[in-house]
A = this chain, B = another copy of it.
Amino acid sequence: MTYCLAIKVDSGIVFASDSRTNAGVDHVDAYSKMHSFTVPGERAFVLLSAGNLATTQAVLNILRRDFDDRHSIRSLSTVDYVFDAAQYVGEVSCNVQTRHCESTRKSSVNLGASFILGGQIAGKPHDIFLIYPEGNYISPSPSNPYLQIGETKYGKPILDRIITHGTTLEVAGRCALVSLDSTMRSNVSVGPPIELALYRKDGLDIERHVTLDADSEYSLALREAWSDGLNRVFEGLPRFDWE
Report A's interface with B, CB cutoff 8 A: 153-158, 160-162, 170-171, 173-175, 182-183, 185-186, 208, 210, 218, 221-222, 225-227, 229-243
> Closest CB-CB distance, A200 to chain B, in whole Å?
12
CA distance A173 to B241 in the complex (A): 13
> Closest CB-CB distance, A156 to chain B, in whole Å?
5
Residue of B with least CB distance to A207: B242
CA distance A242 to B170 in the complex (A): 10
> Closest CB-CB distance, A184 to chain B, in whole Å?
10
Residue of B with least CB distance to A153: B153
Given A171-B235, A226-B237, 13 more A-B residue pairs with CB atoms under 8 Å apart are: A153-B153, A157-B182, A157-B185, A157-B186, A161-B231, A208-B240, A210-B240, A221-B238, A222-B238, A229-B232, A229-B237, A232-B233, A233-B233
> Closest CB-CB distance, A223 to chain B, in whole Å?
10
Cβ–Cβ contact A186 & B153, under 8 A: yes
Residue of B with least CB distance to A183: B157
Chain B residues whose CB sits within 8 angstroms of the CB of A226 once the complex forms: 233, 237
Chain B residues whose CB sits within 8 angstroms of the CB of A243 once the complex forms: 170
Listed by A's residue number, 15 A-B pairs whose Cβ atoms lie within 8 Å are A153-B153, A153-B186, A155-B157, A156-B186, A157-B185, A161-B185, A161-B231, A162-B231, A162-B234, A208-B242, A218-B240, A218-B241, A226-B233, A229-B229, A229-B232
Cβ–Cβ contact A218 & B238, under 8 A: yes
Cβ–Cβ contact B222 & A173, under 8 A: no
Cβ–Cβ contact A170 & B229, under 8 A: no
CA distance A239 to B162 in the complex (A): 17
> Closest CB-CB distance, A76 to chain B, in whole Å?
27
CA distance A13 to B62 in the complex (A): 56
